[in-house]
Amino acid sequence: KPLVFSGVQPTGNLHLGNYLGAIRKFVALQETNDCIYCVVDLHSLTAQLVHEDLAEQTRAITAAFLASGIDPKKHIVFNQSRVMQHAELAWIFNCVARIGWMNRMTQFKDKAGKDRENASLGLLAYPSLMAADILVYRATHVPVGDDQKQHLELTRDIAQKFNNDFSSRIAELGLGVEMQVGDETVNGYFPITEPVIGGPAARIMSLRDGSKKMSKSDPSDLSRINLTDDAETIARKIKKAKTDPEALPSEVDGLAGRPEAENLVGIYAGLAETSKQAVLKEFGGQQFSAFKTALADLAVEKLAPIAVEMRRISADRAYVDGVLRDGGERAGKLAEATMKDVRDIIGLLQG
Protein backbone atom coordinates (compact mmCIF):
# COMPACT_ATOMS: atom_id res chain seq x y z
CA LYS A 1 0.00 0.00 0.00
CA PRO A 2 1.45 3.42 -0.89
CA LEU A 3 2.64 5.52 2.02
CA VAL A 4 3.93 9.08 1.65
CA PHE A 5 6.67 10.55 3.88
CA SER A 6 8.49 13.87 3.72
CA GLY A 7 10.23 16.32 6.03
CA VAL A 8 11.19 19.96 6.32
CA GLN A 9 13.99 21.34 8.51
CA PRO A 10 13.18 23.95 11.15
CA THR A 11 15.90 26.30 9.91
CA GLY A 12 14.62 29.79 9.22
CA ASN A 13 11.67 31.11 7.31
CA LEU A 14 9.97 28.89 4.78
CA HIS A 15 10.08 30.32 1.28
CA LEU A 16 8.28 29.94 -2.01
CA GLY A 17 10.70 27.18 -3.09
CA ASN A 18 9.85 25.07 -0.03
CA TYR A 19 6.16 25.73 -0.64
CA LEU A 20 5.97 24.97 -4.38
CA GLY A 21 8.67 22.29 -4.41
CA ALA A 22 7.45 20.40 -1.35
CA ILE A 23 4.60 21.54 0.91
CA ARG A 24 2.04 22.08 -1.83
CA LYS A 25 2.72 18.55 -3.05
CA PHE A 26 2.24 17.26 0.52
CA VAL A 27 -1.24 18.80 0.51
CA ALA A 28 -2.18 17.33 -2.88
CA LEU A 29 -0.94 13.82 -1.97
CA GLN A 30 -2.97 13.64 1.24
CA GLU A 31 -6.21 13.40 -0.78
CA THR A 32 -5.49 9.86 -1.97
CA ASN A 33 -2.74 8.50 0.30
CA ASP A 34 -1.78 7.94 3.91
CA CYS A 35 0.87 10.56 4.67
CA ILE A 36 3.46 11.27 7.35
CA TYR A 37 4.90 14.79 7.44
CA CYS A 38 7.76 15.53 9.76
CA VAL A 39 9.60 18.59 11.03
CA VAL A 40 13.11 17.16 10.91
CA ASP A 41 14.67 18.91 13.89
CA LEU A 42 17.57 16.42 14.25
CA HIS A 43 18.59 17.24 10.67
CA SER A 44 18.85 20.91 11.52
CA LEU A 45 21.66 20.12 14.01
CA THR A 46 23.94 18.93 11.20
CA ALA A 47 24.72 22.45 10.00
CA GLN A 48 24.37 24.29 13.30
CA LEU A 49 24.31 22.54 16.67
CA VAL A 50 23.29 25.46 18.87
CA HIS A 51 20.00 27.16 18.00
CA GLU A 52 18.42 29.84 20.10
CA ASP A 53 14.91 29.10 18.98
CA LEU A 54 14.72 25.52 17.74
CA ALA A 55 11.41 24.84 19.51
CA GLU A 56 9.84 28.02 18.07
CA GLN A 57 11.11 27.20 14.57
CA THR A 58 9.67 23.71 14.92
CA ARG A 59 6.28 25.18 15.83
CA ALA A 60 6.50 27.65 12.92
CA ILE A 61 7.05 24.88 10.33
CA THR A 62 4.20 22.92 11.88
CA ALA A 63 1.96 25.99 11.60
CA ALA A 64 2.98 26.32 7.93
CA PHE A 65 2.01 22.68 7.28
CA LEU A 66 -1.37 23.17 8.92
CA ALA A 67 -1.99 26.59 7.32
CA SER A 68 -1.23 25.11 3.88
CA GLY A 69 -3.99 22.54 4.41
CA ILE A 70 -2.39 19.40 5.85
CA ASP A 71 -4.93 17.56 7.99
CA PRO A 72 -3.21 16.29 11.18
CA LYS A 73 -6.17 14.07 12.12
CA LYS A 74 -6.25 12.06 8.91
CA HIS A 75 -2.46 12.07 8.55
CA ILE A 76 0.53 12.23 10.88
CA VAL A 77 2.38 15.48 11.65
CA PHE A 78 5.20 15.39 14.23
CA ASN A 79 8.76 16.43 14.95
CA GLN A 80 11.48 13.89 14.31
CA SER A 81 13.26 13.96 17.69
CA ARG A 82 10.14 12.60 19.46
CA VAL A 83 10.56 9.26 17.70
CA MET A 84 13.95 7.89 18.70
CA GLN A 85 13.67 5.02 16.20
CA HIS A 86 14.74 7.47 13.44
CA ALA A 87 18.14 7.84 15.12
CA GLU A 88 18.34 4.10 15.86
CA LEU A 89 17.74 3.12 12.24
CA ALA A 90 20.11 5.88 11.06
CA TRP A 91 22.88 4.21 13.08
CA ILE A 92 22.23 0.89 11.38
CA PHE A 93 22.19 2.63 8.00
CA ASN A 94 25.52 4.28 8.88
CA CYS A 95 26.85 0.74 8.98
CA VAL A 96 25.11 -0.23 5.71
CA ALA A 97 26.14 2.84 3.67
CA ARG A 98 29.72 3.44 2.53
CA ILE A 99 31.72 6.60 3.25
CA GLY A 100 32.34 7.00 -0.49
CA TRP A 101 28.58 7.26 -1.11
CA MET A 102 28.30 10.12 1.38
CA ASN A 103 31.41 11.90 0.09
CA ARG A 104 29.86 12.11 -3.36
CA MET A 105 26.74 14.01 -2.20
CA THR A 106 26.66 17.49 -3.75
CA GLN A 107 24.77 18.95 -0.77
CA PHE A 108 27.57 17.78 1.54
CA LYS A 109 30.21 19.27 -0.76
CA ASP A 110 28.30 22.59 -0.98
CA LYS A 111 27.56 22.86 2.73
CA ALA A 112 30.93 21.62 3.98
CA GLY A 113 32.76 24.03 1.65
CA LYS A 114 36.54 23.90 1.41
CA ASP A 115 37.17 22.98 5.05
CA ARG A 116 35.66 19.51 4.80
CA GLU A 117 37.70 18.06 7.66
CA ASN A 118 35.94 20.49 9.97
CA ALA A 119 32.36 19.73 8.86
CA SER A 120 30.33 17.81 11.43
CA LEU A 121 30.16 14.05 11.06
CA GLY A 122 26.37 14.57 11.14
CA LEU A 123 26.53 16.67 7.96
CA LEU A 124 28.30 13.80 6.20
CA ALA A 125 25.79 11.26 7.54
CA TYR A 126 22.75 13.49 6.78
CA PRO A 127 21.48 11.22 3.95
CA SER A 128 21.66 8.20 6.22
CA LEU A 129 19.28 9.86 8.72
CA MET A 130 17.06 10.92 5.82
CA ALA A 131 16.92 7.30 4.60
CA ALA A 132 15.99 6.25 8.15
CA ASP A 133 13.20 8.89 8.32
CA ILE A 134 11.64 7.42 5.21
CA LEU A 135 12.29 3.73 5.68
CA VAL A 136 11.38 3.50 9.37
CA TYR A 137 7.81 3.83 8.02
CA ARG A 138 8.64 1.75 4.91
CA ALA A 139 7.30 4.73 2.96
CA THR A 140 6.94 4.20 -0.79
CA HIS A 141 6.67 7.80 -2.06
CA VAL A 142 8.60 10.93 -1.07
CA PRO A 143 7.58 14.37 -2.39
CA VAL A 144 10.60 16.72 -2.44
CA GLY A 145 12.19 19.52 -4.46
CA ASP A 146 14.67 18.67 -7.16
CA ASP A 147 17.67 19.38 -4.86
CA GLN A 148 16.86 16.25 -2.84
CA LYS A 149 16.95 13.88 -5.80
CA GLN A 150 20.48 12.64 -5.09
CA HIS A 151 19.65 11.94 -1.42
CA LEU A 152 16.64 9.89 -2.50
CA GLU A 153 18.79 7.85 -4.85
CA LEU A 154 21.00 7.12 -1.86
CA THR A 155 17.92 6.06 0.13
CA ARG A 156 17.18 3.55 -2.64
CA ASP A 157 20.78 2.32 -2.56
CA ILE A 158 20.69 1.85 1.22
CA ALA A 159 17.37 -0.05 1.04
CA GLN A 160 18.70 -2.25 -1.74
CA LYS A 161 21.97 -3.01 0.06
CA PHE A 162 20.14 -3.84 3.32
CA ASN A 163 17.72 -6.11 1.41
CA ASN A 164 20.65 -7.87 -0.32
CA ASP A 165 22.96 -8.13 2.70
CA PHE A 166 20.19 -9.66 4.83
CA SER A 167 18.24 -11.50 2.11
CA SER A 168 18.50 -14.92 3.76
CA ARG A 169 17.53 -13.61 7.23
CA ILE A 170 14.60 -11.70 5.72
CA ALA A 171 13.42 -14.87 3.93
CA GLU A 172 13.99 -17.08 7.03
CA LEU A 173 11.86 -14.73 9.16
CA GLY A 174 9.19 -14.47 6.44
CA LEU A 175 9.53 -10.67 6.39
CA GLY A 176 10.14 -10.23 2.66
CA VAL A 177 7.68 -8.40 0.46
CA GLU A 178 7.45 -8.67 -3.32
CA MET A 179 7.79 -5.33 -5.02
CA GLN A 180 8.05 -3.93 -8.49
CA VAL A 181 11.24 -1.93 -9.20
CA GLY A 182 11.13 -0.68 -12.78
CA ASP A 183 10.51 -3.81 -14.88
CA GLU A 184 11.82 -6.15 -12.21
CA THR A 185 10.00 -7.89 -9.37
CA VAL A 186 12.25 -8.05 -6.30
CA ASN A 187 11.83 -9.32 -2.78
CA GLY A 188 13.03 -7.37 0.22
CA TYR A 189 12.13 -5.81 3.56
CA PHE A 190 12.52 -2.13 2.71
CA PRO A 191 10.66 -0.66 -0.27
CA ILE A 192 12.67 1.00 -3.04
CA THR A 193 11.17 4.44 -2.55
CA GLU A 194 9.90 6.50 -5.48
CA PRO A 195 10.70 10.21 -5.47
CA VAL A 196 7.80 12.53 -6.29
CA ILE A 197 9.64 15.37 -8.04
CA GLY A 198 8.65 17.39 -11.05
CA GLY A 199 6.35 19.98 -12.51
CA PRO A 200 7.31 23.56 -13.36
CA ALA A 201 8.33 24.42 -9.77
CA ALA A 202 10.58 21.49 -8.79
CA ARG A 203 13.54 23.88 -8.42
CA ILE A 204 12.77 27.53 -7.75
CA MET A 205 15.79 29.76 -8.20
CA SER A 206 16.89 32.90 -6.34
CA LEU A 207 15.13 36.09 -7.47
CA ARG A 208 18.54 37.80 -7.60
CA ASP A 209 20.54 35.11 -9.42
CA GLY A 210 18.94 32.54 -11.73
CA SER A 211 21.84 30.12 -11.28
CA LYS A 212 21.36 29.67 -7.49
CA LYS A 213 18.41 27.92 -5.87
CA MET A 214 16.08 29.94 -3.68
CA SER A 215 17.32 29.15 -0.20
CA LYS A 216 16.67 29.97 3.45
CA SER A 217 20.36 30.61 4.03
CA ASP A 218 20.88 33.19 1.24
CA PRO A 219 21.99 36.38 3.04
CA SER A 220 19.83 38.52 0.73
CA ASP A 221 16.17 38.58 1.78
CA LEU A 222 15.38 39.94 -1.70
CA SER A 223 16.47 36.58 -3.14
CA ARG A 224 13.39 34.79 -1.80
CA ILE A 225 9.72 35.21 -1.04
CA ASN A 226 9.04 34.07 2.51
CA LEU A 227 5.72 32.48 3.38
CA THR A 228 5.37 35.13 6.07
CA ASP A 229 5.94 38.13 3.72
CA ASP A 230 3.05 40.58 3.50
CA ALA A 231 1.45 41.62 0.20
CA GLU A 232 3.53 44.77 -0.16
CA THR A 233 6.82 42.90 0.43
CA ILE A 234 5.90 40.15 -2.05
CA ALA A 235 5.08 42.76 -4.73
CA ARG A 236 8.31 44.69 -4.05
CA LYS A 237 10.50 41.57 -4.24
CA ILE A 238 8.93 40.49 -7.54
CA LYS A 239 9.31 43.99 -8.96
CA LYS A 240 13.02 43.96 -8.02
CA ALA A 241 13.60 40.40 -9.31
CA LYS A 242 16.43 40.20 -11.82
CA THR A 243 15.33 39.83 -15.45
CA ASP A 244 16.78 40.43 -18.91
CA PRO A 245 15.77 43.16 -21.36
CA GLU A 246 13.93 40.90 -23.85
CA ALA A 247 10.15 40.41 -23.95
CA LEU A 248 8.79 37.01 -22.89
CA PRO A 249 8.98 34.37 -25.62
CA SER A 250 5.89 32.54 -26.88
CA GLU A 251 7.45 29.07 -26.68
CA VAL A 252 9.29 27.25 -23.84
CA ASP A 253 12.35 26.81 -26.14
CA GLY A 254 12.74 30.60 -26.08
CA LEU A 255 13.53 30.43 -22.33
CA ALA A 256 16.81 28.56 -22.98
CA GLY A 257 19.76 30.59 -21.69
CA ARG A 258 17.43 32.96 -19.82
CA PRO A 259 17.43 31.48 -16.29
CA GLU A 260 15.77 34.45 -14.55
CA ALA A 261 12.95 34.58 -17.11
CA GLU A 262 12.51 30.80 -16.89
CA ASN A 263 12.35 31.00 -13.10
CA LEU A 264 9.61 33.65 -13.02
CA VAL A 265 7.59 31.75 -15.61
CA GLY A 266 8.05 28.57 -13.55
CA ILE A 267 6.90 30.36 -10.40
CA TYR A 268 3.79 31.65 -12.18
CA ALA A 269 3.06 28.17 -13.56
CA GLY A 270 3.58 26.60 -10.11
CA LEU A 271 1.27 29.07 -8.38
CA ALA A 272 -1.38 28.84 -11.12
CA GLU A 273 -1.03 25.03 -11.24
CA THR A 274 -0.46 25.06 -14.97
CA SER A 275 2.49 24.56 -17.37
CA LYS A 276 5.19 27.00 -18.47
CA GLN A 277 3.84 26.65 -22.02
CA ALA A 278 0.36 27.72 -20.90
CA VAL A 279 1.86 30.76 -19.12
CA LEU A 280 3.78 31.75 -22.27
CA LYS A 281 0.64 31.35 -24.36
CA GLU A 282 -0.92 34.05 -22.19
CA PHE A 283 2.10 36.34 -21.68
CA GLY A 284 4.37 35.63 -24.72
CA GLY A 285 5.48 38.90 -26.37
CA GLN A 286 4.79 41.00 -23.24
CA GLN A 287 7.42 42.96 -21.34
CA PHE A 288 8.49 41.91 -17.84
CA SER A 289 6.86 44.95 -16.24
CA ALA A 290 3.37 43.70 -17.17
CA PHE A 291 4.19 40.08 -16.38
CA LYS A 292 5.66 40.98 -12.98
CA THR A 293 2.48 42.83 -12.02
CA ALA A 294 0.39 39.76 -12.89
CA LEU A 295 2.84 37.48 -11.04
CA ALA A 296 2.79 39.67 -7.92
CA ASP A 297 -1.03 39.68 -7.91
CA LEU A 298 -1.11 35.89 -8.26
CA ALA A 299 1.54 35.36 -5.55
CA VAL A 300 -0.32 37.61 -3.12
CA GLU A 301 -3.62 35.88 -3.89
CA LYS A 302 -2.13 32.43 -3.20
CA LEU A 303 0.30 33.19 -0.34
CA ALA A 304 -1.32 35.93 1.73
CA PRO A 305 -4.12 33.67 3.10
CA ILE A 306 -1.49 31.12 4.18
CA ALA A 307 0.45 33.80 6.09
CA VAL A 308 -2.74 34.91 7.87
CA GLU A 309 -3.61 31.32 8.78
CA MET A 310 -0.04 30.65 9.96
CA ARG A 311 -0.27 33.59 12.34
CA ARG A 312 -3.65 32.42 13.64
CA ILE A 313 -2.42 28.85 14.23
CA SER A 314 0.90 29.96 15.74
CA ALA A 315 -0.95 32.03 18.34
CA ASP A 316 -2.42 28.79 19.74
CA ARG A 317 0.80 27.20 20.93
CA ALA A 318 -0.99 24.52 22.98
CA TYR A 319 -2.82 23.35 19.86
CA VAL A 320 0.40 23.14 17.80
CA ASP A 321 2.23 21.26 20.57
CA GLY A 322 -0.75 18.92 20.90
CA VAL A 323 -0.67 18.11 17.18
CA LEU A 324 3.05 17.22 17.42
CA ARG A 325 2.57 15.16 20.58
CA ASP A 326 -0.31 13.18 19.13
CA GLY A 327 1.49 12.74 15.79
CA GLY A 328 4.63 11.61 17.62
CA GLU A 329 2.71 8.92 19.51
CA ARG A 330 1.13 7.54 16.34
CA ALA A 331 4.41 7.69 14.39
CA GLY A 332 6.29 6.05 17.28
CA LYS A 333 4.07 2.94 17.16
CA LEU A 334 4.64 2.49 13.42
CA ALA A 335 8.39 3.09 13.76
CA GLU A 336 8.75 0.62 16.64
CA ALA A 337 7.02 -2.13 14.62
CA THR A 338 9.65 -1.67 11.88
CA MET A 339 12.53 -1.57 14.37
CA LYS A 340 11.40 -4.85 16.01
CA ASP A 341 11.70 -6.49 12.59
CA VAL A 342 15.01 -4.79 11.82
CA ARG A 343 16.55 -5.86 15.16
CA ASP A 344 15.41 -9.44 14.42
CA ILE A 345 16.76 -9.32 10.89
CA ILE A 346 20.15 -8.11 12.10
CA GLY A 347 20.20 -10.56 15.00
CA LEU A 348 20.30 -8.08 17.88
CA LEU A 349 19.19 -9.72 21.13
CA GLN A 350 15.71 -8.47 22.15
CA GLY A 351 13.10 -9.51 24.66
Q: Please state, in angstroms and rounded to a whole number, the distance separating the CA atoms of residues 235 and 207.
A: 12
Is position 236 an interface residue for ligand AQP (rule: CB under 6 A)? no
Binding residue (CB under 6 A) for ligand AQP from 21, 200, 210, 249: 21
Q: Please state, in angstroms and rounded to a whole number, the distance separating the CA atoms of residues 43 and 108.
A: 13
Angle (CA) 79 82 84, round 5°: 120
CB of 224 to ligand AQP, least distance (A): 8
Query: Judged by CB, which is closer to ligand AQP: 83, or 345?
Result: 83
Query: Judged by CB, which is closer to ligand AQP: 64, or 280?
Result: 64
Q: Please state, in angstroms and rounded to a whole number, the distance separating the CA atoms of residues 315 and 168.
A: 53
* Class of residue 1 by CB neighbours under 10 A (exposed 0-12, middle 13-18, buried 19+): exposed
CB of 23 to ligand AQP, least distance (A): 8
Is position 29 an interface residue for ligand AQP (rule: CB under 6 A)? no
Piece of the chain touching ligand AQP by CB under 6 A; list 52-60, 213-221, 277-285, 310-318: 213-221
Binding residue (CB under 6 A) for ligand AQP from 3, 4, 8, 267: 8
Q: Give the residues across from 181 on adjacent strands.
A: 184
Query: Judged by CB, which is closer to ligand AQP: 170, or 261?
Result: 261
Residues 140-169 that bind ligand AQP (CB under 6 A): 144-145, 147-148
Is position 17 an interface residue for ligand AQP (rule: CB under 6 A)? yes
Query: Judged by CB, which is closer to ligand AQP: 154, or 342?
Result: 154
Q: DSSP secondary-structure letter at 124?
A: H
Residues 45-84 that bind ligand AQP (CB under 6 A): none
Q: Please state, in angstroms and rounded to a whole number, the distance separating the CA atoms of residues 177 and 191.
A: 8
* Class of residue 319 by CB neighbours under 10 A (exposed 0-12, middle 13-18, buried 19+): middle
Long-range contacts (CB closer than 8 Å, 24 or more residues apart) made by 280-284: 280/248, 280/249, 280/250, 280/251, 280/252, 280/254, 280/255, 281/250, 283/248, 284/248, 284/249, 284/250, 284/251
* Number of residues lying near ligand AQP (CB under 6 A): 18
Piece of the chain touching ligand AQP by CB under 6 A; list 9-17, 86-94, 178-186, 252-260: 9-17
Positions at the binding site for ATP: 9-11, 17-18, 145-147, 204, 213-217
